[in-house]
């Protein structure tokens, strides 16, 4: 069975965001998830940061300090090669989870 949990889901959202946008700070990631999901997904904003830190430690994303368009210092994250590979994996796992859950629901 595919190993999927809630944590994995946050990882998936963050990695996917970075894959779509290239380089982004934490706040930007929150905004992107909100917009891209048609306001359906809303994470507690702070809870994003432990996940970001962990993914950075795992070498999936890398971070650097830069200025925002409003001239504010912020930590920008971008995907590494290892992260891109990992994203493919989580995406696949998630597809399977969805498929499985859907099959469950359709079961009569």
Minimum distance between the CB of residue 95 and another protein, rounded to whole angstroms?
27
Closest to another protein by CB, 42 vs 99, is: 42
Minimum distance between the CB of residue 48 and another protein, rounded to whole angstroms?
9
Binding footprint of another protein on the chain (CB under 8 A): 25-27, 44-47, 49-50, 53-54, 57-59, 68, 70, 72-75
Of 22, 78, 88, 33, nearest to 52 (Cα)?
A: 78
Residue 83 neighbours by CB distance under 10 Å: 22
- Residue 65 to residues 77, 99, 102, Cα–Cα distance (Å): 9, 39, 42
Closest to another protein by CB, 59 vs 100, is: 59
Minimum distance between the CB of residue 20 and another protein, rounded to whole angstroms?
20
């Amino acid at each position: 069975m595919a190993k999927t949990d809630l944590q994995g889901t946050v990882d998936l959202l963050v990695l996917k965001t970075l894959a779509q946008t290239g380089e982004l700070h934490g706040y930007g990631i929150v905004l992107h998830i909100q917009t891209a999901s048609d306001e359906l997904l809303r994470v507690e904003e702070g809870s994003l940061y432990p996940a970001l830190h962990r993914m950075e430690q795992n070498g999936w994303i890398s971070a650097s300090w830069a200025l925002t368009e409003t001239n504010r210092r912020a930590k920008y994250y971008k995907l590494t090669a290892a992260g891109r590979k990992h994203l493919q994996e989580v995406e696949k796992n998630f597809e399977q989870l969805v498929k499985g859950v859907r099959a469950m629901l359709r079961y009569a």
